Structure 1
Amino acid sequence: MTTDALDAYPSTPRQVEPASRPAQRLSAAIETGRQRVVISALIFTVAFAGIGLRLVDLMAFGSDADSALATHALSATAPVTDRADLRDRNGLVLATTLPSVSLYADPKMVLDPIEASLRLAKTLPGLDSDKLLADLSSERRFVWLKRGLTPSQQYEVNRLGIPGLAFQNEDRRYYPAGALTSHTIGFTNIDAQGISGLEKSLDTRLENGESVQLSLDLRLQEMVRDELQSTIATFHAQGGNALVMDVNTGEVLAMVSLPDFNPYEPGGPSEESMFNRNTLGVYEPGSTFKIFNTAMALESGTSTLTSMYDEGPIHVGRFTIHNFRGDPQSGMLSVYEIFRLSLNTGSVHMEEAAGVDRQKEFLTRLGLTKPAPIDLPEVGAPMVPHPWSKVSGMTIAYGHGMAVSPLSLVTAVSAIVNGGVLHQPTLFKRDPSQPVPGTRVISPELSRTMRMLMRAVVTGGTATKAEVPGYFVGGKTGTADKAAKGGYNRRARVTDFVGVFPIYAPKYIVMTMLDDPQPIKGTYGFASAGWNSAPLGGRIIARMGPLLGLQPADPKDPAILQALSPPSSAVAASLQASAGSED
């Protein structure tokens, strides 16, 4: 190699990069990334801390509308204790709680209140578009728009895509039977607080999750309502009511008052529809009160079944008491005939023989001078005369001058026919293994006599249209002029019927009442109870007997005939002679 060639190479050796240099660069990059992550985390921590502090401020210290909005938003997911069910005696649901949603808005987030209100009003026709516009244009941060939406309504609102609208999960009370049990079950407000009926009286128990089984039989309730509604329409009555009770337990099996109402919209078409005629209404029942007058007279010993009384008119001052047209207006008739034919004047003579004090004590013993002891807030107090004068006693003898609720009347009649024991009425199903509390008010012998008399009313008296073959119905009719300012409206009436079956071994009592029924072509100008309330009672009995598994009995069964015979052979002979001469 030449000298020139050697001079071409550097005289100093080449610098070679150490092997550790790439690792150092990688470490530096990782450190830089770590610093950036830490900085980012600090930024997010500060941001969320600020949001958290703002939420605490809103919930704990806020006093503006934003606080209310936050509270409502949080409550949407808060757990809610379900209000317990109400069920009928067979376990069918009458009132229950189901999940629901409600629609609210933050007006400040609604971009176009006019368009939003128009679209919402079209989607939810029940809403007032003017009110919607006012709500959505307000300065508030929270307004309710509609409570208790159906799933389909929620879907349709969601489809609108309107900013500022939101839903809140809630519980809502549902009534599967609707208006069928409205007066008894009652209803709650939008916040599930009891407002009327059992919903109100059982509010605490239901709120605590205690399910309650009632004495009502929904099958009977529907059937009774059907028959009552049809009869009201036939006789053009203003309204009516009906009751079915177990005479041996006091359990109310059906209780219908018409007109009724929709528990989801209790405001309804009229206040009258909210009125429970069975418990809150008090009426002068007319001749059904003769059941008590006759029992009182027989118990006192001042009258017997064969005691005779003059049926001529009774003059009291400027007033005259007389019998219904077509009934005997003179002559002597026995207590048996007076009851069978429902004669006013004979009933007054029986009361006069016993005295006012005995009458007052007897009716008080039967619970007729106090409100009915039932678990409902809507209970009317009876109208009792003050003072209880001689004239009061005379008119009460045939069902005028004293007003009681239908429930009180049914409870008292049950005691008269069931062997003489007064049971407190109840809307709760009794435990069949437990004894039924009760108070003896009359003797078993007197109870048997009254059953025989009530059977005679159906077989040959004023309630023949209530007879149902095989069920041995016993009963009593009543027709009373409606009370009016300063006296009575002679052109308006209340008719009622009390029927017990089977009367030889009573199980059930049926009470029907019509408010001002009108005569129709088939009643020959009559509108008294024997033409409307009594047939209604018979139709209810004919349908409920098979429904409850009660088989018709043989009308010639010796045991049944013996149970319905008068208490002694001497009385029997006298009564047969009396009945024969009358027929």
Structure 2
Amino acid sequence: MIRTPLRPLARILEARVKGENPDSIERENRRLRHEQIRDKARNRAEGRLLVLGVAFFVAFSVVGARMGLLASTEPSEPRATATGAEILNQRADITDRNGRILATNLLTHSLYAHPRDMVDPARVATELGRIFPDLDPEDLHKRFTDGRRFLWVRKKLSPEQMQAVHDIGDPGLLFGPREMRLYPNGRLAAHVLGGASFGAEGVHSAEVIGTAGIEKALDARLRDPAMAGEPLKLSIDLTVQAATTEILAAGMKMMNAKGAAAILMEAKTGEILSLVSLPDFDPNDRPAPLVAKNADPGDSPLFNRAVQGVYELGSTFKIFAVAQALELGLVNPQTQVDANAPMRWGRFLIKEFKNHNYGPMLSVTDVIVKSSNVGVARLALQIGGLRQQAFLKALGFFEPTPVEMVEAPYARPLVPAKWPEITTITTSYGHGIAASPMHLAAAYGAIANGGMAIKPTLLHRDGPPQAQRVMRAEVAHAAVDMLRQVVTRGTASYGDVAGYEVAGKTGTADKPNPQGGYYRDKVVNTFASVFPASDPQYVLIVTLDEPLDTSGSEPRRTAGYTAVPVAAEVIRRAAPLLGLRPTVEAAPLDAVTAVRN
């Protein structure tokens, strides 16, 4: 910056020549300089005041706009914030094959407390004890006053409970929105669905995760954000499921059974239309598992007898030995078999039910119709242990079933470690090997499906399933014909449902005693059936645990008197619901027809 001198020499010399005072020049220059400094300072101050005024205007405008926005929105509870991954609380619905809801989500609220913000902790504890009888007011008050900053009170609230808590009016009680899993049909299909609970939790959301059944088996699919809007469609038919459950519960009560299970499956697709296990539970309020040291898992309503229950299934296995003998060309349905009982094999004695002797000879068909242990044992010895094992493996009896339930992989069949000839004999009539009713349904499905084995599924399939041939079609048709004769003139006569050509096999197996051997008065009864026999469409398995029919003059425990009537009623009710039209069966040519004028 160039400064102008206050006493410029040229002007001073000029002033002296004119006789003027040179000091006046300096005073004039000083005055002009001060005026310039003053003008600059004023301009700077005015600029700063302008900027400050604009800043205040913008600030007050933002505050005013925010206040207006808050005044125009709905009030909401404060939310706690925390760093970390976002909680994914969306879960896809589950529907039956017709789109009816089996599981969905419901918006509810949780209740939590900030004890340090409470006005009167003692009153709050007392009022909460009145609203929630399961909460102890003294314990609540102790936790409200022990210095903690945060406390969960309830994870789920009904609208009525929420309003009652709101009426307490204490600022230390806060609500957090969240989704919960709702099963609108209650106990219906409880073992299929399993249930859900909360995983990662926050005050404003909670992660819903599966705890059992298909909810846990397909948890990743149900929680996938990309699939959240697409329901998971099951193969279950809700109407058929309800009918089966009602009939099975009534049959279980009438037969004084400890438990029961039923599986209804499409033979050609493997899709399960109904899966029932009793006793059951409400997945909306899932009970705690049994924790007693010597508790029997089968006593818990959580136990899925259709999938987890591994039983000796008795004479229902006989058709597999006969089908394999037909497949190998060893016999045909009319071949005569030595059925003279009892049959001695080494130190073992093979006997018939109640020491009957159906021999000395029976046709292969009559071996099944009369359920001859000795006859099927003779066939099994012709087949041999190695070939018998291979056939049962092809039917799925050596591995857990692949059905989409978290319990299924743990239901591994109990197979003998060694396979001597006596094991070949006992396995042919369903003793010494244990499997679940689901295994039996899959194996009978192969017979009903013309010899093609299909894996059972709880999911509604869009395309044709993969199948593996385990026997020739003519063998499967012959086996179904034999099973039909079991119903028309054999041990399952109570299973004949007019118009639906039921074919099936009974099985009565003594229950193993944990102390060794078998109980003499406890059995597991099964009726494995397919219908209609002329064109098998469906497979039905009904199992009763420790049944006892007391309707006659003496107690009866065999499947023909217990499981078969229950299965017949299921078919009678379910077949029309499935759209299966009854057929008119021709009367025998030698039958007598009554005519009334």
Q: TM-score, normalised by structure 1?
A: 0.81
Alpha-carbon contact 1:291-1:413 (below 8 Å) kept: no
Paired position in structure 1 for 2:12? none
Per the TM alignment, residue 314 of structure 1 is displaced from its structure 2 partner at its CA by 2.1
Q: 2:209 aligns with which of 183, 186, 193?
A: 193
1:229-378 pair list within 5 angstroms: 229-268=249-288, 270=290, 272-305=300-333, 306-325=335-354, 327-328=356-357, 330-378=359-407
Paired position in structure 1 for 2:459? 428
Distance 2:450 2:559 in 1: 27
Per the TM alignment, residue 146 of structure 1 is displaced from its structure 2 partner at its CA by 0.4
SS of alignment partner, residue 275 of structure 2? strand
Paired position in structure 2 for 1:27? none
Alpha-carbon contact 2:310-2:414 (below 8 Å) kept: yes
TM-superposition CA deviations, 1:278-335 (whole Å, max 9, x none): 1111110000011111111222223332222133112345542211127436522222
1:422-571 pair list within 5 angstroms: 422-431=453-462, 434-485=463-514, 486-522=516-552, 524-556=554-586
Q: In terms of mean alpha carbon deviation, does 153-162 or 465-474 score higher? A: 153-162
Distance 1:517 1:169 in 2: 48
Distance 1:141 1:169 in 2: 20
Alpha-carbon spacing, 1:99–1:74, altered in 2? closer, same or farther (3 Å): farther
SS of alignment partner, residue 208 of structure 2? coil
SS of alignment partner, residue 480 of structure 1? strand
Alpha-carbon spacing, 1:223–1:326, altered in 2? closer, same or farther (3 Å): farther
Q: In terms of mean alpha carbon deviation, does 514-523 or 394-403 score higher? A: 514-523
Paired position in structure 1 for 2:179? 171
Structure 2 counterpart of 1:512, one-letter code: V
SS of alignment partner, residue 470 of structure 1? coil
Structure 1 counterpart of 2:459, one-letter code: F
Alpha-carbon contact 2:340-2:358 (below 8 Å) kept: yes
Structure 2 counterpart of 1:178, one-letter code: G
SS of alignment partner, residue 522 of structure 1? coil
Per the TM alignment, residue 71 of structure 1 is displaced from its structure 2 partner at its CA by 6.8
TM-superposition CA deviations, 1:145-204 (whole Å, max 9, x none): 001111111111111223310100011111112221111111111231111111111111
Alpha-carbon contact 1:368-1:408 (below 8 Å) kept: yes
Paired position in structure 2 for 1:51? none
Alpha-carbon contact 2:548-2:562 (below 8 Å) kept: no
Alpha-carbon contact 2:492-2:504 (below 8 Å) kept: yes
Alpha-carbon contact 1:340-1:457 (below 8 Å) kept: yes
Alpha-carbon spacing, 1:130–1:344, altered in 2? closer, same or farther (3 Å): farther
Count, aligned residues: 500
Structure 1 counterpart of 2:120, one-letter code: D
TM-superposition CA deviations, 1:429-472 (whole Å, max 9, x none): 112xx322111111011011001100000000011101100110
Structure 1 counterpart of 2:306, one-letter code: N
Alpha-carbon contact 1:322-1:329 (below 8 Å) kept: no
TM-superposition CA deviations, 1:347-377 (whole Å, max 9, x none): 1111112111111111011111111011111
1:202 aligns with 2:218: yes
Alpha-carbon spacing, 1:450–1:530, altered in 2? closer, same or farther (3 Å): same
Distance 2:309 2:157 in 1: 36
Alpha-carbon contact 2:192-2:214 (below 8 Å) kept: yes
Alpha-carbon contact 1:313-1:330 (below 8 Å) kept: no
Distance 1:491 1:154 in 2: 54
Alpha-carbon contact 1:262-1:268 (below 8 Å) kept: no
Distance 1:118 1:110 in 2: 13
Alpha-carbon contact 1:179-1:262 (below 8 Å) kept: yes
Per the TM alignment, residue 522 of structure 1 is displaced from its structure 2 partner at its CA by 2.9
Paired position in structure 1 for 2:134? 126
Alpha-carbon contact 1:309-1:335 (below 8 Å) kept: no
Structure 2 counterpart of 1:195, one-letter code: T
Structure 2 counterpart of 1:255, one-letter code: L
SS of alignment partner, residue 126 of structure 1? coil
Distance 2:175 2:250 in 1: 44
Distance 2:78 2:168 in 1: 24
Alpha-carbon contact 1:247-1:415 (below 8 Å) kept: yes
Structure 2 counterpart of 1:90, one-letter code: N
Distance 2:141 2:280 in 1: 35
TM-superposition CA deviations, 1:512-562 (whole Å, max 9, x none): 00000123133732111000101111000000111112111010299xx9x
Structure 2 counterpart of 1:417, one-letter code: A
SS of alignment partner, residue 72 of structure 1? coil
Structure 1 counterpart of 2:271, one-letter code: E
Alpha-carbon contact 2:96-2:234 (below 8 Å) kept: yes
Alpha-carbon contact 1:295-1:450 (below 8 Å) kept: yes
TM-superposition CA deviations, 1:72-120 (whole Å, max 9, x none): 3679xx8965211010001011111121100000111223333222210
Alpha-carbon contact 2:116-2:147 (below 8 Å) kept: yes
Structure 2 counterpart of 1:553, one-letter code: T
Paired position in structure 1 for 2:100? 92
Alpha-carbon contact 2:263-2:276 (below 8 Å) kept: yes
Gaps of 5+ in 2: 1-45, 64-76, 199-206, 291-296, 591-597
Q: Which has the larger radius of gyration?
A: 2
1:34-73 pair list within 5 angstroms: 72=80
Structure 1 counterpart of 2:273, one-letter code: L
CA RMSD of aligned residues (A): 2.7
Following superposition, which runs of at least 4 residues in structure 1 exceed 3 angstroms of deviation? 69-75, 78-81, 128-131, 268-271, 316-319
SS of alignment partner, residue 325 of structure 1? helix
Structure 2 counterpart of 1:404, one-letter code: A
Alpha-carbon spacing, 1:102–1:523, altered in 2? closer, same or farther (3 Å): farther
Alpha-carbon contact 2:264-2:541 (below 8 Å) kept: yes
SS of alignment partner, residue 511 of structure 2? strand
Per the TM alignment, residue 207 of structure 1 is displaced from its structure 2 partner at its CA by 1.0
Alpha-carbon contact 2:254-2:549 (below 8 Å) kept: no
Distance 2:266 2:281 in 1: 26
Alpha-carbon contact 2:342-2:355 (below 8 Å) kept: no
Distance 2:378 2:346 in 1: 17
Structure 1 counterpart of 2:502, one-letter code: V
Alpha-carbon contact 1:85-1:212 (below 8 Å) kept: yes
Distance 1:106 1:199 in 2: 34
1:389 aligns with 2:409: no
Paired position in structure 1 for 2:438? 407
Paired position in structure 2 for 1:13? none
Gaps of 5+ in 1: 1-30, 49-68, 562-575, 577-583
1:138 aligns with 2:146: yes
Distance 2:117 2:56 in 1: 31
TM-superposition CA deviations, 1:214-258 (whole Å, max 9, x none): 000011111111111111111211111000000000000000001
Structure 2 counterpart of 1:418, one-letter code: N
Paired position in structure 1 for 2:201? none
Distance 2:553 2:180 in 1: 48
Distance 1:235 1:291 in 2: 26
Q: Could you tell me the percent identity over the aligned residues?
A: 39
Paired position in structure 2 for 1:573? none
SS of alignment partner, residue 192 of structure 1? strand
Per the TM alignment, residue 268 of structure 1 is displaced from its structure 2 partner at its CA by 4.6
Alpha-carbon spacing, 1:159–1:419, altered in 2? closer, same or farther (3 Å): same
1:181 aligns with 2:189: yes
Distance 1:79 1:360 in 2: 50
